[in-house]
Chain A
Amino acid sequence: MPDTTFLDSTELVLNMGPQHPSTHGVLRVILKLDGEKILGTDCVIGYLHRGVEKIAEARTYAQFNPYVDRLDYVAAVSNGLGYCLAVEKLLNVEASPRAQAVRVILTELNRIASHVLWLGTHALDIGAITPVFYCFREREEILKIFEQYCGARLTTHAFRIGGLQYEIYDGFEQEVKAFCDMFLPKVDEYEELLTNNRIWMSRLKNVGILNAEDCKRYGVTGPVLRAAGVHWDLRKAQPYSGYEKYDFEIPTRDNGDTYDRYSVRMQEMRQAVRIIRQAVEGIPEGPIMAKVPKVIKPPVGEAYVSIEAPKGELGYYIVSDGSTQPYRVRVRPPSFVNLQALDRMVRGALIADVVAVIGTLDIVLGEVDR
């Protein structure tokens, strides 16, 4: 007889997911528990693996464009922008000012759509059921603009390499402006529901703290990093697509807990509206497509472009061997990197906090597994 058997052990292993409503997709977290306390976690990913990076090697550059929409499917426009910018860098072309302005408007609208969806589902995980209905209502308005503009609501395929496929439709500016006017009071409404709510505060404050140093060590980006007090946003740090022309702030907080990440994202929505308002005021005239050959054949070389997606730094690394198909495409998804910090954030916390922390990381499994 061994001295200790598993019956003596206080450790309990529990599977959370892959079919769990608050893991936001098919994420499986193996929790090692001592009662309610978490001793360690293990993330099992790959349930949504489709091999997108490998698919890219058998597609032409233009053909691969719709696939990137399916990485982070709640922010498809941002994904498309990153990919198009990377191929444009390989080709050494730049989109026209008009195309850049429309790109900025649509990506910022998509940032709002992504944050609004995050807010709704995060609040739903915590137990506040009302915000999800209001959030989806506002998201619907954005999706309507997307549908009018490019014909699809979610997997938009809005941008093409070198610019845009579609000219903006009649009434685009008015609709976007009307959305901005309508949306800001709604953010106040969400804040009224949640910010001072005692249940919300006690569930979020001092939960899942990740300080600035740990953020940098894990390579965490996006709102999670900014909530820890690091003033880092790629739109300011290395502007792309004409972001240097717009005046906006990068909201930061100091504690790096779940509540700070919530308030950073709420402020980001307001800043996104500010950018959209500036961009929609002066959409320059001109062509929407740069001079790009019909068959895209970039010269031999490699390019890495990263953009500030709603969830963090989204990077595309493309190697070209001079043919019509990429030799290798590597995507640096923000969700995948941010998810690695989960163990650090929940160790020693309670099971209920895991739900809050997964919600606040804002992961999308399409992007984690690729």
Chain B
Amino acid sequence: MRRLLKKIFLVDLAQGLWVTFRNQNPKYIYTEQYPAERPKVAERYRGAPRLNLNPETGETLCMACNMCALACPESLIVVSSQRNEKTKKKELVTFTFDTSRCMFCGLCEDSCPTDALELSQDFELASYTREGQIWDRKMLEEGPKPTRYKC
């Protein structure tokens, strides 16, 4: 009898509607106004690659050991170096990073002995051309420069 009454008065459907009604409360509504309001990504976020410079001298921290290129599963890092005649040390010449093939696994970052290569918190990597996805040393040191919009 009770089940029949429940069925006639659509109790099960009203129950569901009450849930949706509860969730309409304006305090639960949230929209992120993306280009004007940028999301804060986590500190450990694996985004755009970055070649760090020594903050004091402005010189690259990379010592061209090639560990990142060996660690990369996609072999997308190419490092070229030259031996300095005076100090007998290897010096970095070029560093290319193909972000179009990168899967942001972070293995290059983990393998870097000097913390020169890092996956930074920048996440806007779009480019108009395929060639634009291949980053050279200058791009890696400066980082991407997405347009900033004001709200």
Contacts and interface: CB of A to CB of B under 8 A. Distances in A.
Interface of A: 59, 62-67, 70, 130, 134, 144, 147-152, 155, 157, 165-166, 169, 189, 192-194, 196-198
A193 B16 contact: yes
Contacts of B107: 62-63, 66
Nearest to B105: A66
Interface residues of B, number: 25
A260 to B, nearest CB: 19
B44 interface: yes
Contacts of B105: 65-66, 155, 157
Interface string B36-79: 00000111111000000000000000000000000111000000
Interface in B1-49: 7, 12-13, 15-16, 18-20, 23, 41-46
A198 B10 CA distance: 9
Contacts of B12: 196-198
A151 B42 contact: yes
Nearest to A150: B44
A268 to B, nearest CB: 21
A157 B106 contact: yes
Given A63-B73, A67-B73, A130 B44 contact: no
Contacts of A169: 43-44
User: Of residues B12, B46, B72, B104, which shows the largest number of chain A Cβ atoms within 10 Å of its Cβ?
Assistant: B12
A70 B15 CA distance: 39
B16 A148 contact: no
A201 to B, nearest CB: 8
- Decide if the interface of chain A is mainly helix, strand, loop or mixed: helix
Contact of B41 (A59, A64, A147): A147
A330 to B, nearest CB: 19
B16 A155 contact: no
15 contacts: A66-B73, A66-B103, A66-B107, A130-B16, A130-B20, A144-B42, A148-B43, A149-B44, A152-B104, A165-B106, A189-B19, A192-B15, A193-B16, A197-B12, A197-B16
A67 B42 CA distance: 23
A154 B12 CA distance: 36
Contacts of A64: 73
Nearest to B22: A189
A12 B54 CA distance: 70
A66 B46 CA distance: 13
A157 B73 CA distance: 13
A150 B23 CA distance: 31
A148 B45 CA distance: 7
Contact of B73 (A59, A134, A152, A155): A59
Nearest to B110: A165
Given A152-B104, A192-B16, A193-B19, A63 B44 contact: no
B119 interface: yes
Given A59-B73, A198-B12, A198-B13, A148 B106 contact: no
Contacts of B41: 147
A150 B46 CA distance: 8
B12 to A, nearest CB: 4
Contacts of A148: 42-44
